[in-house]
Structure 1
């Protein structure tokens, strides 16, 4: 009886993980090719582009905010139809001073003394925006000059609710970062979901929505770029799509501990979001329901499934087939453990790197789940240490993919 339960637990776990990471991507790409509706950009005369407000929430971003402003003002969007709003969340460094010193009247500072978190900043800044279109970004993100035009041209197409742009991670040498394979894999899924109008949320670095469709975020929301667009979809309907030509650059993480903390925080936010987004799981939501279940929910519970698979396999190890399977699991986790050591020696193999990424990502998800269980859900964030922006990142790399 126990053996039967262990076998069921093992293969159910492996099957669900395999479905999320291997089968679903094939299904969604196939569906996109057969049933997808590519969103054609709207064309405008130069004086007909809608007014746009670029919104950046910042907390102690003195290292990058000046370069972010310069990058924003280099957009090729019509001069008199663009503004940038920086919402400073109780910054204690020179962030406010740097923004206030900008001589371009299109840049506005909204400084808040009390720390409220990103959701609170967005809720207070968005009503102050004068644009018909809200474009959201981060302080350490840099747009290609035509990025906003591409976002707006897609956003104003019939039936479109929101648009997510393409984020490219680059390193100091302006080359593709080590996680490029995973990013390309995720991008291919997002493209397919976009053709079906089922992009799940957005990327906080580059996305756009009409101001009239902005839905105030619940207090202490951790993952604003998931909750915000999907709450808008639940309220207003419409398609969330992907615009691969709307490109932004961001420096790849160099502080691995800080990046792990960030992923743990996101993990907690994933489970927090279910409080508001559970209606997305209704079958009446069509492709969005399938995408949310397969691309989000199953991945959030993958660490639990990995534990179940290992424990079940351990129980069955007296059987030759399952003993071999257990060895495979042990070798996989061993590769993840030794991966950083190889990297420190200047050696790296794609398989080992992917194992390391997969395990680290799921440990962070598990830690985030435990934080969610104990109610550790603050909407404020600890700023990741920034290095001053380099011109290669700010001006745009062409050989990294995200």
Structure 2
């Protein structure tokens, strides 16, 4: 609703071509690293202004050897000798970055030819501190997947957040930031969320760019996808709790409201869902209206169950499943957070 009354334009400039460092974090990616290198070399950005760094988190397969074999084509490898996680590898690469703008991506994400130009053009606006890409999930046939519909909704929300003030989250698979924002880089907090929070604290804002597209396939193993969500939310909660001052609207104005409503409250949705279900059960014993409400809730959960079990079903019917899965992951993430688990290291998803 606020977006109807408040619209902050982004003063992008497609002729703005600052020095850029592209950092791609890897760990044991020998099976698909060549595809990523090929995709990277096809990017349309002046080569004398683009530094390409593959940051290896102590890979133990042939990933590092494959990367170094492309050294004569401008591909650089930095390797941290001990495995400390994605953020640690990124920090290691940032120390060697020469660009004014740093772009982060991963091996599983394919970038369109103009992606770097598009995402960097937003930094011509001095108010912009970081930029998120838009995600596109595809299945093995290249079609928009069921989760892709759900992600499309998320991307729409980000576009509204950008118009109002700032996004409250970046796509970890493809985002960019001014170099000065990347100096505070804790290795136990997700780099995408930390980058956004740093931007706000330094007086910038974060935006989503619909022209910067990151394309990646759904994770084949649904159990691994579930645990990826748990890990992401657990680390997001940790980051928010480490930056609680940003929840104070007296200091951070509308962004605090956005952070509470679009992040914190959404992570608490599973508790609201559980409360709504038990309340509906209780009231259904006394009211015909609430019997209908309860039936609607049960029908939604039945669709979620169908979406989980059915192999051939229209993607739109998968949406209830992904919604329920995401909120189950959020509830599990709260348990992990209160147990003190933080997930510093990671194993790249098999997409």
Q: How would you bin the TM-score normalised by the shorter chain?
A: over 0.9
> Out of 369, 372, 381, which is 2:334 matched to?
369
Report the alpha carbon displacement of residue 198 of structure 1 after superposing the two structures with TM. Answer: 1.0
CA distance 1:327–1:202, change in 2 (3 Å): same
Corresponding residue for residue 22 of structure 1: none
Residue 344 of structure 2 is aligned to residue 379 of structure 1: yes
Q: Is the 8 A contact 2:122 2:128 kept in 1?
A: yes
Alignment of 1:66-77 (within 5 A): 66-77=34-45
Q: What pairs up with 1:317-332 in 2 under 5 angstroms?
A: 317-320=284-287, 321-332=289-300
Q: CA deviation at 1:33?
A: 3.7
Using the TM superposition, give the Cα deviation of residue 110 of structure 1 relative to its aligned residue in structure 2, in angstroms.
0.9
Structure-2 residue corresponding to 1:252: 218
The answer as to whether partners of 1:120 and 1:219 remain within 8 angstroms in 2 is: yes
Indicate whether 1:36 and 2:4 are aligned: no
TM-score, scaled relative to structure 1: 0.82
Please give the secondary structure, in 2, of the residue aligned with 1:179.
helix
Distance in 2, matches of 1:264 and 1:256, equals 12
C-alpha distance in structure 2 between counterparts of 1:39 and 1:349, whole Å = 34
| Rounded Cα–Cα distance in structure 2 between residues aligned with 1:381 and 1:224 | 13
Structure 1 moving runs of 4+ over 6 Å: none
**How far apart are the structure 2 equivalents of 1:215 and 1:279?**
20
For 2:332 and 2:66, the matched residues in 1 are separated by 37
2:116 to 148, 163, 171: 148
Q: Deviations over 1:19-72 (max 9, x none)?
A: xxxxxxxx2xxx33432122121253xxx7211100111111112221111111
**CA 1:227–1:192 in structure 2 vs 1: closer, same or farther (change >3 Å)?**
same
Which structure is richer in relative contact order (CA contacts within 8 A, separation 6 or more)?
Answer: 1
Indicate conservation of the 8 Å contact 2:181/2:195, yes or no: no
Q: How many residues align?
A: 349
Question: Corresponding residue for 2:274?
Answer: 307
Compute the displacement of 1:121 (Å): 1.3
Distance 2:221 2:249 in 1: 41
Q: Distance in 1 between the 2:69 and 2:325 partners? A: 42
Larger radius of gyration: 1
Conserved in 1, the CA contact under 8 Å of 2:145 and 2:315?
Answer: no
Q: CA deviation at 1:92?
A: 1.2
Unaligned residue ranges in structure 2 (runs of 5+): none
Q: Deviations over 1:313-335 (max 9, x none)?
A: 33333212333322322222222
**Which of 154, 175, 179 is the aligned partner of 1:207?**
175
Q: Identify the range of structure 1 (319-328 vs 376-385) with the bigger mean alpha-carbon deviation.
A: 319-328
- The structure-2 alpha-carbon separation of the partners of 1:161 and 1:349, relative to structure 1 and needing over 3 Å to count, comes to closer
* 8 Å contact from structure 1 (residues 76, 145) kept in 2: yes
Structure 2: distance between partners of 1:265 and 1:110: 25
Partner of 1:262: 228
Q: Distance in 2 between matches of 1:325 and 1:181?
A: 25
Match of 2:257 among 259, 275, 290: 290
Contact in 2 for aligned 1:231/1:277 (Cα 8 Å): no
Structure 1: gaps of 5 or more residues: 1-26, 387-402
- Structure 1 residue 353 displacement after superposition: 1.9
Deviations 1:222-248 (A, max 9, x none): x321122212321x1112112111222
Which residue in 2 is equivalent to 1:227?
A: 194
The two structures, once aligned, show a CA RMSD in angstroms of 1.8
